[in-house]
Amino acid sequence: MKELVKHYVGKGLVAIFPEKAKNLSIKGMTIQLHLPVADRLMRNYIFDKAKKENNFEALSNYHKDFWSNKGEDYFLSGFNTDVLESFFKPKCSFLIDSLEEQILEQNENYNLFIEIGTGDGTILKYIKDRSTAIDKFIGIDLSKSQTEANRQRYQNEDKLEFHAADGVEWIKKNGTNKMVVMTSRGVLEYFTQAKLQELFTILSQFEKVYFIAIEPTDVDHDYSKNPDSKIFGFENSFSHNYIKLFTNAGFEIWHQSKSVDWNPSSYMNFIGAKK
């Protein structure tokens, strides 16, 4: 009953204040960064409506607006504090070590390591510092202000570059053979299934490509019954069938594992693919 009341209050607020609701969605509302009560109620109603209608495009656009407009606020808020030390190093660095071994076996350097959704760049710099077989490291993020902050912070790092862009569009224009792409701790979860398949298909057109995907999925997502993506979680992001989407594009899986995330309703998946 309480949730139903909140739903109708949110619906009423959206009807009474349509411009306020529109501005809320444009400015970004995926994660509730100090939203007033009225804004939270409108936010939840807007997401619930899109979810009920299975409007994946609308949800993806809401997420894109959030990371474009509030990405830097998120990293300054403390939500992501110490993710390198507490999460990436202990749980993900084995993928970087395995990648390095595979590249070294080829006796030739790779051209690019691209992190889509690089945030504050700390993970990308960590990877750069421990890699010997990759020439350049590119951090791509939707947030222009976060990208500029990264450029200032890492201005003396010759191998690091940061670009404010849509990751798929950047790779379309700048992709190359001998390339590694990585997402960490939830980036692809904001892509629609169609856009994610497009990304993998674009990458498959290049030679010698590796992909590391560290992404959450719904623990209740049964791929045998529903092989397609589904909406999940409080953020209303997408649980994808990553193995299916990679193999559709001609990739070979070289690592697949998962663990229960900090949220028991989701898995964190650790996937390595190559072509």
pLDDT tens-digit series, residues 159-188: 999 999 999 999 999 999 999 999 999 999
Nearest-angstrom CA–CA distance, 109 and 177? 11
Nearest-angstrom CA–CA distance, 63 and 108? 38
Query: What sign for the dihedral angle of Cα 75, 78, 79, 84?
Result: positive
**Same domain assignment for residues 25 and 132:** no
- pTM of the predicted structure, to 2 decimals: 0.92
Q: Which amino acid is at 33?
A: L
**Same domain assignment for residues 184 and 87:** yes
Q: What is the pLDDT of residues 45-102, one digit of tens each?
A: 998 899 999 999 999 999 998 888 877 777 766 555 688 999 999 999 999 999 999 9
**Same domain assignment for residues 71 and 160:** no
CATH number at residue 260: 3.40.50.150
Domain residue limits at 101: 83-274
What average pLDDT does the segment 124-141 reach?
Answer: 97
Instruction: Please report the pLDDT score of residue 78 as a whole number.
Output: 59
**Same domain assignment for residues 166 and 222:** yes
Nearest-angstrom CA–CA distance, 39 and 23? 10
**Same domain assignment for residues 165 and 204:** yes
Is residue 244 scored above 90 in pLDDT?
yes
Q: Which helix (H) or strand (E) covers residue 172, if one does? A: helix 167-174
For residue 233, how many C-alpha atoms fall within 13 Å in the half-sphere facing its CB?
25
Q: Which residues pair with 140 in a beta bridge?
A: 116, 163
Q: What is the pLDDT of residues 40-61, one digit of tens each?
A: 898 889 988 999 999 999 999 9
Tokens of 207: 């030679």
Most confident option among 16-20, 236-240, 260-264: 236-240
DSSP state of 109: -
**Same domain assignment for residues 106 and 56:** no
Count of structural domains, the chain: 2
Nearest-angstrom CA–CA distance, 111 and 129? 16
Instruction: Please report the pLDDT score of residue 80 as a whole number.
Output: 57
Choose the final residue of a domain: 52, 77, 102.
Answer: 77
**Same domain assignment for residues 127 and 221:** yes
What average pLDDT does the segment 125-132 reach?
Answer: 96
- Best CA proximity match to 177, nearest among 200, 210, 147: 210
Instruction: Please report the pLDDT score of residue 22 as a whole number.
Output: 84
**Same domain assignment for residues 151 and 232:** yes
- Best CA proximity match to 49, nearest among 7, 3, 6: 7
What average pLDDT does the segment 134-144 reach?
Answer: 97
Q: Which of 23-32, 165-174, 209-218 has the lowest mean pLDDT?
A: 23-32
User: For residue 22, how many other CB atoms are within 10 A of its CB?
Assistant: 12
**Same domain assignment for residues 106 and 71:** no
Choose the final residue of a domain: 58, 77, 96.
Answer: 77
Tokens of 186: 């939830």
What average pLDDT does the segment 140-161 reach?
Answer: 96
The single residue listed with the structure tokens 């110490």 is 82
**Same domain assignment for residues 62 and 175:** no
Q: Which amino acid is at 123?
A: I
As a whole-number percent, the residues of the chain with pLDDT over 90 amount to: 72
- Best CA proximity match to 186, nearest among 136, 230, 240: 240
**Same domain assignment for residues 146 and 116:** yes
**Same domain assignment for residues 136 and 34:** no
Instruction: Please report the pLDDT score of residue 55 as a whole number.
Output: 94
